[in-house]
Amino acid sequence: MPSSLLQIERKIQSATDAVVRSIADTDDGVAGAVIGRNTTAHLLVNSSFLYRDKSVKTTQSSRRLVACLGAAGKHVRLESIAVLDNQVLRTHYKLIPKQNAAKLVPLASAISQEIGSIGDLLFILLGTIEGLRPQIQGVNSSKVKEIRLVPSLAGNTVQRTEAGVYSLRMIVPIEELLDSINADLEQAGGLIAEDRRVIGSAYDDLLDSATTEVSVPTGEVRHRNETVLGKIITSLNAQAAQYHEAIAALRQAADDARALNEVLRIAYNFSADVLPLISLFVSICDLKPLVFWCTVKEQWALHRAFTALPWAALGRKEKLEEYKSIVSQARSHAFHHVLPFDSTVEVDLSGLDVRAETIRLFVPFGQKEGRGVHLKDQKLADVLAEFSRAKERQVSQAFWEANEAVMQAACKLAQEVLASLILIHDARRE
């Protein structure tokens, strides 16, 4: 067997062994099926552990791992792994009767089958980021004709490279671009307001069309940190480190508003940006089950981290969409709550002069405007009614502390997906 295939098989065996041990430690039914019975048992493992939401468009793979379990003293031992197709499984795992060998696909054969069915598209995550593509944008101004994005440009960030043409080495704030052009045109009277407007509009168009080029690897992936997924992982790890520091500060002073705001900020960014990444991983594993087999340990760890959050206290289910809702509402209440009201305000008008002038009935079907009672000061009433407040969604510190494990598990899963994709890419090349 080629070395990469052997590495993949060993990776799956090690990952499955860790999951089996975790299950046996918490489920007496699994442990009791083999310990003290001098027999073996088959454990069917699902092909996905996270509850699905609308962001996941794919369905679970029907190819599932089967772990043959035996006893090693008072502990469960993984004896072998195979793959079983087209089995209905609504739980994370279940013990099944001993299977006819003809139904089981040996792990090595299943790996080879999956390697043969994987195309090139998956490996865009291993692509190398080459940098910004050169871009040219016309400007409808008498003083500036073009703005160019030229990543290879040497020298100053913004330069006049031709008459009426200004080139940028990198994307800069619009104010910096305008100041540089204005300084260059100082002797000609600088920029007037209309020049600034059209340059700003052209620069917006340039930014909207700016493109970073990525090359998909055809040979060995030498610098994993420079890949698309590698750069994402670097960012995730940085966010997790910042969250760790913020949680430590909040643990020392539970009433530290700055520390809480930092926790909320990072948690919200994580939920907004990383949950779609997790959904992507789920879909990849649905379509390419070999990736799930290689990362089953980290998939199980992320599931356990999510279930460890205090969902019951919040009256929620352990779903990605519910997690995002909790974080979003807590953050909104903290960041969008300036006015000093935590509940709806009701004013007693029974003793005031708010005389109704008209009541409009039988307006055309579907027309809402003008319907109902009209007050003497209707416009003022409408303005006052526009005030609103952020929903009251306070979340305990215990949730934010447990959330650190979720972030760490997500980072670890991303790292193992990257490592697995590199192994699979190498196996296809052999």
Q: Which of 347, 303, 381, 351 is nearest to 22 (CA)?
A: 303
CA 22, CA 300: separation in Å to the nearest integer? 9
Q: Do residues 221 and 126 lie in contact, with contact meaning Cβ atoms separated by under 8 Å? A: yes
- Show the low-confidence residues of the chain (pLDDT under 70): 1, 312-313, 317, 331-343, 362, 386-394
Question: Can you give the pLDDT at residue 38?
Answer: 82
Residue range 54-74, pLDDT digits in tens: 778 898 999 999 999 999 888
pLDDT at site 166: 95
pLDDT at residue 337, rounded to an integer:
47
Q: How far, in Å, CA of 179 to CA of 298, rounded?
A: 50
pLDDT (0 to 100) of residue 53: 73
